[in-house]
Amino acid sequence: MAKLDLDPALVARARELARRAGQPVVDLARSHTTVSVERAVLRLAGVTGADPDGIPWVNRLVDAVVDEVGLEHGVALPVFDALAREGLTAADLTLLAQKAAAGSVRFAVPTGKEATAARKLSTRATGAGLRMIDKRRAERDRLVKRFGDPAQRPWIYLIVATGDIYEDIPQAQAAARAGADVIAVIRSTGQSLLDYVPEGPTREGFAGTYATQENFRLMRAALDESSRELRRYVRLTNYASGLCMPEMATLAGLERLDMMLNDSMYGILFRDINPIRTFVDQRFSRQVHARAGIIINTGEDNYLTTADAVDEAHTVTVSQLLNEFFAHEAGLADWQLGLGHAFEINPDVPESFRLELAHALLARELFPDAPLKWMPPTKHMTGDVFRGNLLDGFFNLAGTMTGQGILLVGMMTEAVVTPWLSDRDIALQNVRYVLGAAGGLHEDFVPAPGGFIQQRANQVLASAVTLLEKIEGDTLLKAIADGTFGIMKRPPDRGKGLSGVAAHADDYFNPATSLLESAA
Amino acid sequence: MSDIVRPYGDTTGDGMVQLSFTLPLAHDKRAEGAALQLAAKMGMDPAMLVHSKQMGDGFTFFVVYGRVNHLVDVSKVEVVERDYPLLSAKEVNTAVKRGLRRKLSVVGACIGTDAHTVGIDAILNVKGIAGEKGLEYYRELKVTNLGAQVTVPELVAAAQRERADAVLVSQVVTQRDAHLHNTREMSAAFREALPADRRPLLVVGGPRFDETMAGELGVDRIFGRGTTPGEVASYLVHALVAA
């Protein structure tokens, strides 16, 4: 390693600034809850299914509790107290939700003996959910041991999304056979803004397939079949983002998904989701991912699709450092940090490939033990599929030269059509050629001391430190409110999902968080 | 110069084209014959099968080069012109800056009981749609997205508060023609609340609207399925910014 001659003191300073900028946000997350965190707790405790209109029982139950006693105490105690009073057991939680929706159950915040009993019952029930997640993780470890990891790095990550889970399955299996190591099922447009998780298998979506627990289960089972056939464990990815981040993480853990998109600021900046809602949801979801052994993928590539990839390269580094801090704080290990970055420099810029190498190598050296998610060009894909294929080849080459961990396969028909069967085949052929021809090139690739690449990497790091100083002085929430990231101003008292946020009351109790934090 | 042209490979008039496609057949002699049959039916004669490769089970990818006999009469080409030019984000920003000398204020919402924000979010959110950024991404546009289930009086109040130059309304739900009723109610409310010269530009969009009904519904423009943020932004510049 150490190909860039980075100043270790500057690297340490960048990390320290990220910690100082992030800590107030962690404090905020620790002292607030959201409707989605509470729904995730109930999912862990075993509430399943949805009413005839498709609204999940966890939503109905949380709404009923919030109507009567508010969100600030957490729903665990009121729910388990009501359960005991109704003479029901934890196995009847869904029944309780149905009764609550019909208005036939009253909720109160228990005190004294009743509170102790509810605490014990809810801890036992959510503990069972976490044990199921542990079981899934052990199952993955077993399958990886039996079938093995991909022979090469980077792992080849391919997107499938028809809107119909039963169409997605054969496409995903075909992609795995053609060489994909990781399958991502893109979600239906706008799912991130739904304040509930749809139920059941789904056959219709907008430019993607709804993420539901049943769709997760179906696809994981199909890829287990493929893993057996191919003697290589094929991983499955979905999205823990948007308004239901904690629940998505929980369902992913319960259904043994292997990776989840999970960025600390993406929802705030790109979806106008309330910043506090996002940070609270994100911390819980990352704690669940940590427990479930899931690799998160962060979304830094998005910055470069909206801003200039040369001028704004340092914002990627800043976001990676913040994502790393938040991830470590939530208990994720380095091997679980698929920090994102992208090949988005305008190919007409002189030396664009050397600049890409500098940026990619900087990420590699700053986060030596993180897998790193390398994202293909999208912004400068014009519909000229021939040039696009060449650009993707250079993207693949930069990926292997700089030792990236997860390579999202670029499509020459980006911005033209959703990938055709032949597009995917050509794209995978491109990846196979580059990895086959130059798979070990990262060993030989050492930039000249003091040369263009080293200089550029050091310059980006220095700009990142300057920006982090500004954010730390200003506080992260204010920086987000002022439009420091991208051009969007996102104040903490605005944005979607704000009404589902509450500061903890003194008697706030969340059995899942208690268990997750005591195990860490 | 003649109005008649033919495709150009390396000699004028050679008529050469290239074509790639996939057939749902395993790769064998018969599949290659099938590919040539397709090329022949498309008018390629002679057709050369230069590449064929099986993909997965039962699919084969083909590349065919060949001559077509068709003549193109350039004088008979008809082009439907959009009634406004399609601008890039940069051009939109420059036009607003020059023409308006302030930010152009846009207020968007789903009105009535419609909770489907897919459309309005695709147009307004930075995330956008199909790789194209939404209006929030445009530096010179000030976007206020009120979200779903906004009442008409709330929308009018927000438009006044934000001094909206344009109001964008998305309607997905069409049960009992709700989208038409809601749109008429909205345009009537704006007519009542504001004199004509201070009324914002009213734009509605949704998959079930007929784009020719703008006058009937009392709005300035209707956008149908598949509209992109860039088209909306270009239209706003066309309608609101003096050239």
Closest approach of B57 to chain A, Cα-based (Å):
8
Question: Which chain B residues touch A418 with a CB distance below 8 Å?
Answer: none
Which tokens belong to B12? 């004028």
Chain position carrying tokens 């100083």: A469
**Cα dist. A399→A23, A186, A298, A361, A453 in Å?**
33, 23, 17, 9, 15
Same fold, B4-74 and B89-240: no
Asked if B130's CB is within 8 angstroms of A271's CB, the reply is no
Dump the DSSP string for A419-432. PPHHHHHHHHHHHH
**If you average pLDDT over every residue of chain A, what do you get?**
94
Whether cis (ω within 30° of 0) applies to the bond prior to B200 is no
Report pTM: 0.86
Q: Taking an 8 Å Cβ-Cβ cutoff, which residues of chain A contact chain B?
A: 174, 177-178, 189-190, 193, 206-207, 269-272, 305-306, 378-379, 414-415, 420-422, 425-426, 486-488, 496
d(CA A483, CA A454): 30
- Per-residue three-class SS string for A359-377: HHHHHHHHCCCCCCEEECC
User: How much is the pLDDT for B1?
Assistant: 56
Say how many Å lie between the first and final Cα of chain A, rounded.
30
Please give the Cα distance from A124 to A128 (Å, whole number).
6
Quickly list DSSP for A486-510: TT----TT-SBTGGGEEEPPTT---
Q: Are strands B59-68 and B44-55 parallel, antiparallel or unpaired?
A: antiparallel
Which residues of A carry out catalysis?
266, 301, 373
**Interface A-B: count of C-beta contacts within 8 A:** 59
Please state the domain extents for chain B: 4-74, 89-240
Output A42 or B197, whichever has higher pLDDT: A42
Does ipTM surpass 0.95 in this model?
no
Closest residue in chain B to residue A379, using alpha carbons only: B131
Residues of A in contact with B56 (CB under 8 A): 174, 177-178, 421, 425
Structure tokens at A161: 């999304």
pLDDT-derived band at A412 (thresholds 50, 70, 90) equals very high
CATH architecture group of domain B4-74: 2-Layer Sandwich (3.30)
Residue B20's contacts (CB-CB under 8 Å, 6 or more residues apart) are A422, B61, B62, B63, B64
Write the residue in B56, B121, B131 that is nearest to A378 by C-beta. Answer: B131
Name all contacts of A447-455 with Cβ < 8 Å and 24+ positions apart: A447/A3, A447/A4, A447/A357, A447/A358, A447/A361, A449/A5, A450/A5, A452/A351, A452/A354, A452/A358, A453/A4, A453/A354, A453/A357, A453/A358, A453/A361, A454/A3, A454/A4, A454/A5, A454/A358
CB contact under 8 A, A487 and B139: yes
User: Which CATH code, of 3.30.390.30, 3.30.200.20, 3.40.50.280, 1.10.10.10, is assigned to B89-240?
Assistant: 3.40.50.280
**For A258-274, what is the mean pLDDT?**
91
Instruction: Give pLDDT tens digits for A176-214.
Output: 998 999 999 999 877 888 999 999 999 988 778 999 999
The pLDDT, as a whole number, for residue B71 is 95
* pLDDT, average across residues A133-154: 96
Given a cut of 90, whether residue B207 has pLDDT beyond it is no
User: Phi, psi (5° rounding) for residue A125?
Assistant: -65, -45
Convert the pLDDT of each residue in B102-112 to its tens digit.
999 999 998 87
Residue A193: list chain B partners with CB under 8 A: 117, 121
Window B:134-153, CB contacts with A under 8 Å: 136-137, 139, 145, 147
User: Which secondary-structure segment (H or E) carries A69?
Assistant: helix A57-69
**Residue A272 to residue B125, Cβ atoms within 8 A:** yes
Active-site residue list of B: 127
Q: Kindly report, residue by residue over B113-141, the tens digit of the pLDDT.
A: 666 777 888 898 887 776 788 999 999 99
Among the partner residues B55, B118, B137, nearest to A189 by beta-carbon distance = B118
Rounded CA gap, A172 and A170, in Å? 5
